[in-house]
């Protein structure tokens, strides 16, 4: 009935009229509310799937769980899962990304207790391994390292993004030390990527039971301090 209005060249609701007044049209407001509701629902489902995968990884000590088990644990449907993820590996990458953000946040708070650049680097390294002393952390860490190794070959670009919060935090601290002239590092970003690979290997050794978390942290700290050419009175604490 009203289709001829648009074809007659009159402004559509929510376009020119809204642009002239600078206000959002009723239609656009309704659309925005609808999209926001859908986004909130999707985020809730995504978080539930990630939490379910984390719980199953803790329970089984591996990522051998199935998508069906994830949906059952999350209390959601298989259809909902594939609306969020294209595959189980997509879920695992998301889990690694979320836990990388969480870990970086925890470490950043610990680093804020220090002002000396070298002490901040030491707090990063030791703090990461201290996380492994929490109940149940070692088994879960083993899963994360194993999946990182596998996905690093299959999805290198995605894994770089997933681990960026942890690696970028380390790069920032190395750059801080270099700017303070207590480190000889000239490539903080590259050094951070290299050191983080060593850290993951150390975490794997702890997960296998061949090393103690804090002893491994101290060893890697001495190694990294030498590699970065750190010069500070705090280096003697290693």
* Model pTM score: 0.79
Confidence of residue 25 (pLDDT cuts 50, 70, 90): confident
Average pLDDT over every residue of 166-177: 97
Encode pLDDT of 139-153 as tens digits. Answer: 788 888 889 889 999
- Which sequence spans correspond to the domains of the chain? 15-86, 87-237
Has residue 219 got a pLDDT over 90?
A: yes
- Distances in Å between the Cα of 210 and the Cα atoms of 103, 177, 205, 233 are 23, 32, 5, 31
Burial of 96 (C-beta count, 10 Å sphere; 0-12/13-18/19+): buried
Residue 34 confidence (pLDDT): 67
Does residue 6 register a pLDDT over 50? no
Rounded mean pLDDT of 27-44?
A: 74
Q: What is the pLDDT of residue 31?
A: 66
Alpha-helical (H) ranges within the chain are 3-7, 16-21, 26-60, 67-74, 78-84, 88-111, 117-130, 137-154, 156-179, 188-208, 213-227
Q: Span 87-237: which CATH code? A: 1.10.357.10
**The three-state (H, E, C) secondary structure of 39-78, written as one string:** HHHHHHHHHHHHHHHHHHHHHHCCCCCCHHHHHHHHCCCH
pLDDT per position as a tens digit, 47-71? 999 999 999 988 888 888 999 999 9
Cβ distance 116 to 234 under 8 Å?
yes
Determine the pLDDT at residue 17. 46
Alpha-carbon distance 192 to 41, whole Å? Answer: 37
pLDDT recorded at residue 1? 44
């Amino acid at each position: 009935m009203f289709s001829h209005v648009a074809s007659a060249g009159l402004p559509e609701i929510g376009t020119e009229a809204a642009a002239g007044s600078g206000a959002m049209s009723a239609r656009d407001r309704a659309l925005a509310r609808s999209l926001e509701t859908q986004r909130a629902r999707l985020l809730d489902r995504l978080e539930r799937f990630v939490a379910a995968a984390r719980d199953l990884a803790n329970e089984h000590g591996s990522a051998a769980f199935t998508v069906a088990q994830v949906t059952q644990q999350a209390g959601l449907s298989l259809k909902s899962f594939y609306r969020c993820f294209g595959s189980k590996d997509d879920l695992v990458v998301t889990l690694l990304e979320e836990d990388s953000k969480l870990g970086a946040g925890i470490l950043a708070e610990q680093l804020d207790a220090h002002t000396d650049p070298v002490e901040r680097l030491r707090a990063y390294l030791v703090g990461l391994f201290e996380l492994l002393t929490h109940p149940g952390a070692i088994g879960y860490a083993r899963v994360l390292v194993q999946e990182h190794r596998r996905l690093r070959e299959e999805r290198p670009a995605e894994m770089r993004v997933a681990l960026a919060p942890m690696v970028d935090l380390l790069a920032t601290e190395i750059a801080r030390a270099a700017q303070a002239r207590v480190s000889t590092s000239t490539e903080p970003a590259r050094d951070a990527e290299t050191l983080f690979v060593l850290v993951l290997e150390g975490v794997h050794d702890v997960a296998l039971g061949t090393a103690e978390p804090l002893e491994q942290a101290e060893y890697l700290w001495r190694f990294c301090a030498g590699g970065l050419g750190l010069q500070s009175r705090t280096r003697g604490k290693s």
